[in-house]
Amino acid sequence: MFGKIDSSPHATADRHTNMASGLSVVALLAAYNEADLVGDVVRDLITQGVDVYFLDDGSSDRTLEVVEPLLGRGVIAIERLPRSPGLRDGFDWAGILRRKAELAREIEADWFIHQDADEFRESPWQDLTLKQAIERVDRAGYNAIDFLSLDFWPVDEGWQESTDIRQAFQYYSERAPYDRLQIRCWKRGTLTVDLETSGGHEAVFEGRTVFPIRFLSRHYPIRGQAHGERKIFRDRVPRYLAEELARGWHVQYDRTGPYDSLVRDRSTLTRFDDEAVRMSLLVNHRGTEALQDGLKDLASQLEAAKTETGRLQEDLAVLQRENAALHGQVSALQTQHEAALLELRTLTAERDGLKEATDALRTDLKEARHESTALAAECGQLGHAITQARAEQAAIEAVHKQVRHRLDEVLQSRSWRWTGPLRTVCSILLDLRR
């Protein structure tokens, strides 16, 4: 499967590697024009017990010349990446990530590292090599490792390739937020590892358990003004693929212009303290950060609760004011209610009085009706009596008429003298009639 320099990795060669003893770790390292540093990176990995599978992305400098002497002495293969049809000299980062995932299935190793050519990876424990530290993680039952990656920058132009860059570069900055996730070491399993989806920031696979303590990665992207200008404006930016830029990749140099100084002011950086950094790795591990994030979430929730409490208190004050107003209205309504009750009692008493009066009137009316009926009867009787009286009067008047008529006849008779006593009686009767 492994081979020396070839267009494919299948040619074999006699070699000495670190895979012969104990747990085997292979760094999958791809490079493009990194001749000034890649040799030191590869040798450091080998010294720490890690073998290297080297992928060259068409370097035009001495990169291959630097790595080739290490083939079979820790470098298990050197593979020239093919140019995709129509790609010409483009930087096919997605293709490199897919190839590394394929190699992680093909190579018979226990652990793999997704390695860059300008970074040194180290154990968080000073007394353990990188391989020994990975073995400790393996024994603890974890299958993935995250890294704290620090960007080291030149503060002058004094570095020479013959000098250990880790001694020369003593000032660093933390990586940008989009670049801090670095789960780039994993244990081989039965499932395919996905490096592409995250743009190479993490190895994604089912059942991943990340070791809480991060390992250290010292990253040296720019080694001086001339190197930075060449790397950014010749070797990187012009070679980015449009489809990868559309995915949000390769943004690290977006704010770097061709006339910007790439040598940093040391006052804007942090001086590297190896012991302090490693102590920080042990103290501020992923579990601690999870707790801190949890505390931040709780603090945010508490702050939100305080805000909500304040809002509720304001609402409560409004409700209390409204309650006081309602209480006043209730008191007024109670007063009105009491007055209404009093009025109701008065009206009830009046109603009862009216009822009694009505009952009395009804009794009186009933009695009046009885009396009226009696009066009507009496009136009837009186009418009848009057009628009888009138009839008697008419009879009397008729008698009187007859008497008068008879008197008139008597008075007109010749025997007037003979009837003197009778006239006296008639006069008396006439006086009585009048």
**Per-residue pLDDT band at 7 (split at 50, 70, 90):** very low
Amino acid at 179: D
In a shared domain, residues 183 and 250 = yes
Buried b (16+ CB within 10 A) or exposed e, 105-143: eebebebbbbbbbbbbbbbbeeeebbbebbbbbbeeebb
155: Cα within 13 Å, side-chain hemisphere:
16
Q: What CA–CA distance (Å, rounded) separates 127 from 52?
A: 22
Instruction: Based on the fold, state whether residues 384 and 264 are members of the same structural domain.
Output: no
Best CA proximity match to 91, nearest among 33, 149, 175: 33
Mark which of 264, 284, 304 sits at the end of a domain: 284
What's the burial of 286, exposed, middle or buried (CB within 10 Å: 0-12/13-18/19+)? middle
Section 104-128 average pLDDT: 97
- Whether 6 maps to a domain, the answer reads no
Q: How far apart are CA 152 and CA 166, in angstroms?
A: 9
Rounded percentage of the chain residues whose pLDDT exceeds 90: 57
Query: pLDDT-derived band of residue 407, with 50, 70 and 90 as boundaries?
Result: low
Task: Output the pLDDT for position 418.
Answer: 63
Are 142 and 276 in the same domain? yes
The pLDDT, as a whole number, for residue 86 is: 58
What are the residues whose beta carbons fall under 8 Å from the beta carbon of 261, sequence distance 6 or more? 225
pLDDT, position 12:
35
- Is 0.75 topped by the overall pTM? no
The mean pLDDT value for 101-125 works out to 97
Strand-strand pairing, 183-187 and 144-152: antiparallel
CATH number at residue 270: 3.90.550
Please, where are the H alpha helices in 61-122? 63-67, 93-106
Tell me how far apart the alpha carbons of residues 425 and 422 are, in angstroms, rounded to a whole number. 5
Say whether both 118 and 266 belong to one domain. yes
Q: Do residue 59 and residue 140 come from a single domain? A: yes
Q: Which domain holds residue 184?
A: 18-284
Question: pLDDT value at position 370?
Answer: 85
User: Is residue 434 very low, low, confident or very high in pLDDT (cuts 50, 70, 90)?
Assistant: low
**Mean pLDDT over each residue of the chain, to the nearest integer:** 87
What pLDDT does residue 2 have? Answer: 39
- Does the structure show a pLDDT above 80 at 413? no
Q: What is the pLDDT of residues 213-235, one digit of tens each?
A: 999 999 999 999 999 999 999 99
* pLDDT of amino acid 319: 78
Domain end position, chosen among 251, 284, 317? 284
| Antiparallel, parallel or unpaired: β 171-174 and 75-80 | unpaired
- Phi, then psi, of 121 in degrees rounded to 5: -105, 135
Does residue 195 share a domain with residue 98? yes
Q: Is residue 236 part of a domain?
A: yes
Mean pLDDT of 123-136: 97
- 56 and 127, same domain (yes or no): yes
Which of 90-99, 212-221, 244-253, 279-288 is the least confident region? 279-288
Q: Is the pLDDT of residue 332 over 90?
A: no
Instruction: Summarize the confidence of residues 131-145 as an average pLDDT.
Output: 98
- Per-residue confidence at 14, pLDDT binned at 50, 70, 90? very low
How much is the pLDDT for 105? 96
**Pair 239, 104 in one domain:** yes
Q: Which helix (H) or strand (E) holds 373?
A: helix 286-411
Higher pLDDT, 75 or 430: 75
Q: Does residue 162 belong to any structural domain of this protein?
A: yes
Closest CA to 117 of 23, 197, 172, 53: 53
**Domain shared by 42 and 109, yes or no:** yes
Whether 83 shows a pLDDT value over 60: the answer reads yes
pLDDT at 256: 94
Structural domain tally of the chain? 2
CA angle 279, 283, 287 (to 5 degrees): 145
Of 249, 266, 284, the residue at which a domain comes to its end is 284
- Answer whether residue 331 is part of any domain: no
The residue that leads in pLDDT, 374 or 274, is 274
Which residues lie closer than 8 Å to 114 by C-beta, 6 or more apart? 28, 97, 100, 184, 185, 195, 200, 203
Q: What is the pLDDT of residue 157?
A: 94
Q: Is residue 403 part of a domain?
A: yes
Answer yes or no: do 343 and 269 share one domain: no
The pLDDT of residue 122: 98
Residue 57 domain-assigned (yes or no): yes
Task: Copy the structure tokens of residue 278.
Answer: 């490693």
Cα gap 69→73, rounded to integer Å: 8
For the beta carbon of residue 212, count every other beta carbon within 10 angstroms. 16
Task: Return the H-helix or E-strand segment holding 151.
Answer: strand 144-152
On whether both 255 and 164 belong to a single domain, the answer is yes
DSSP 8-state secondary structure symbol assigned to residue 260: S
